[in-house]
Amino acid sequence: MTHTLMTTIDQPSLSLVHRIRAPQSGSTTGSPCLILLHGVGANEANLIDFAQQQDPRLTVILARGPITIGPNMYAWFNVNFTSSGPKINPEQAEQSRQTLIDFIAGLPAAYGIDANRVWIAGFSQGGILSASVGLTRPDKVAGFGILSGRILPEIGPLIATSEALARLQAFVSHGVHDSKLAIEFARSAQRLLNERGVNLTYHEYDADHELIGSMQRDFKHWIATQLDVARSVGR
């Protein structure tokens, strides 16, 4: 099957509408996989350019949030930005976490990807959900990336044991001038991940709430390094 990021896929066996870029080999069978998640009010097509930059060894999947908030606008959960910080719909956030776990579980049967080499990352709300999946189900992913996002305190009781998290890799990047999610959210995530023993790569940038070029380059380097390490240890 030919996979192109220009085509949306709504497959009955998978829980989310998505797009897919096959690896350079042309076959997704046995390939490592990167799942990328968009932010609130966007859609998976917003990350096509970012997906095309990723390591050619990867199958890259762009997943669409399950909540429609406008024409071609989707979310993983509804959120209001208030003077005291973001207020989320926790039930929706939990449902999206479960939906993503189910989606990941279905990928090996649907595309033949290597279940032991799956990474998940996203921008803003997409990064939030990536962390929610990675920290609660490290058996499903090798690592996760938070690009200008945060870790929801609501997942605290669900976070896996430090022993289970020891093999997990994390990438956190954030703009110090972020006007949507303040830099303290990233620094709080850094503290939590260090306390839990997660292997962390952390970057701050002279940026607002945006996916700037240097952030993209650093993430691309990080995921390529993850692939090299996974191959060397036979994961």
State the average pLDDT over residues 75-86: 87
The pLDDT, as a whole number, for residue 82 is 80
Q: Which of 117-121, 125-129, 204-208, 231-235 has the lowest mean pLDDT?
A: 231-235
Coil vs helix vs strand at 90: helix
The pLDDT, as a whole number, for residue 85 is 80
Region class of 174: left (phi > 0), else alpha (psi between -120 and 50), else beta: beta
Task: Give the Cα separation of 33 and 160 in Å (integer).
Answer: 22
Work out the mean pLDDT of the chain and round it to a whole number.
Answer: 95
18-232: CATH number: 3.40.50.1820
State the average pLDDT over residues 3-31: 93
- Contact call for residues 132 and 47 (beta carbons, < 8 A): no
The pLDDT, as a whole number, for residue 231 is 63
How many other C-beta atoms can be found within 10 angstroms of the C-beta atom of residue 213? 10
- Domain residue limits, the chain: 18-232
pLDDT band at residue 2 under the 50/70/90 scheme: low
The pLDDT, as a whole number, for residue 52 is 96
pLDDT at 121 over 60: yes
Q: In the structure encoding, which two tokens stand for residue 84, read together?
A: 């005291």
pLDDT at 234 over 70: no
The pLDDT, as a whole number, for residue 229 is 82
State the average pLDDT over residues 107-115: 97
The pLDDT, as a whole number, for residue 81 is 83
Q: What is the pLDDT of residues 155-182, one digit of tens each?
A: 999 999 999 999 999 999 999 999 999 9
- Contact call for residues 147 and 120 (beta carbons, < 8 A): no
State the average pLDDT over residues 109-123: 97
Percent of the chain with pLDDT over 90: 90
